[in-house]
Structure 1
Amino acid sequence: MPGSTPELPIVVLDALLPTTQRVVVNRRGSTVWEVESHRGRYAVKLGHPIEATAEWSAQPWTALAPAREGAVLHRLGVDDIAYGEWEHGTWNIQPWHQGPDLHKLWEPCRKQKASIKPDADVTLGCVQALADLHVRGWAHGDVQPAHFIIGPERTHLIDLALARGGPVPEAYDFPFRGCLVHYEALEIARSVLDTGEAEPTQEADVYALGASLLISATGWRAVEYPDDAPRPVQREAVANGRRRPVKAPGKLGELIDAMLSHAPEDRPTIYEVGKALI
């Protein structure tokens, strides 16, 4: 089904009886809708396998990701969750979170000679959202700016398909093979290069949050490599510690610098990050 937008499965339509629906994401392996119904407002995710191309190897795990995320959310006690299978993969239904993501919200900060500085309350909201996950013994595994939704009352951390911290149904589980390289910690990148897999950790989440704050505030990645570099080349740069100097202003810059420490044990915990911001 490359290049096409799938329809919502009948089981999802029957569950929600949508009054309106719109596609918000349609990319390799995943389609996401915003759906309104008499029950409320929901995000609906559909997964399907990615076929191999000349540039990319096949990625069958994307078909399982929505159901795995649904199972994780269920274990975390999130209400109003449903997930299941359709002919090309799996789906989930979860509450919709309204608001811009971190990167979008801080766009004015990245403009040349910008007078607007990163908001400390926004930073603290992102820290608290990740701390809420860590305190339950979970690691997110895919922390990035697009996964922090800055709502009117609180910040939500979304996209938990790669999270680790408790059992999920074996039929929907799959190995962790890294995430978006811009936000991968050194030890994650090295493990993926060496073995093809890695284990998400809370220390790697802290690194990823630091990299997320940096790129959102300044537009700069934490590690230097060509924009068009293949993914293995990007990972080699990360694993080899080719970090750029952190140029975020003031206390935030010092904190990000510590969060991006090469050794996991040298990074502050998410609770220590929160204390430093208060």
Structure 2
Amino acid sequence: MIKKALVILSVVILSFALTVPATFAASMKKAEVPEKIQQFAKTSGIELFKASAASDPEGFGFADKEELNQIQLGDGFPVYFVDYEKLKKDPLIKRLGEMLKPAETWRFFITVNGKPKSFLLVGYQNGDLTVLEYGGNASELGKAYEQVKNAGYDEILLLEDENTKYFVTTKADQVFVIPDVSENHLSTYEMDNEQMWSSEKLVEKIKNAPILSESYEDDGTVGGSSGGRSEETNSFPLMQPFVISFAAAIVITILFIAGKKRIRKHPL
């Protein structure tokens, strides 16, 4: 009876370890861009963009008003920043997922015929949903996004650090990044948007950021472009191996204790 109960408990624990992260991943996909945010960007955001760019389509990167009128809202992503304040307090952090914090903003592609042309940034200001930023050239980040889509990544977030944007995603329990940096600037940034890169390369770059040096003078903008609250980010992409290992340890401990009890009860 005890053996049967232990087997059932083991199955339940392992099932929990495997399904909880998967369930969370599914919920994360649905919550990436809340419906309210999506609808606001699709209506008010697009209207504001068109109205603002109408007087100077070329200045916004469009051939003319006709092309401007063809714009549509493309895919959107939750924006994250590097939590440099947290890294200053705990310099031993090594995993990218633990270094990030949500900006509570969402960046969308503005597309023409499906191709990214510009950006729309949506978020809350004084409790009201609003367009925080629009414009800019989205072509290089668009190329990076094509790499992500072609590789079949699902969970995607957008990291914005200083003047560079990175897609952060996972595959086979590994974390990858790709910046909006063209091949022409590979020598400067050591990464480009021609391929996916191991997150370790970005972690090294973050660890060596001037803002983390002892000689850095804080001007009140710790984190550079890391506005938003400093609560910890949910690091799901890195959680699954830990949960499974933890569950396996529990199962082994239970079986070991049960084995000792059986030995005591039935001595040779």
TM-score, with length taken from structure 2? 0.29
Higher helix fraction: Structure 1 or Structure 2? 2
Structure of greater relative contact order (alpha carbons < 8 Å, 6+ residues apart): 2
Instruction: Kindly indicate which of the two structures has a greater share of residues assigned to strand.
Output: 2
Higher CA-based Rg:
2
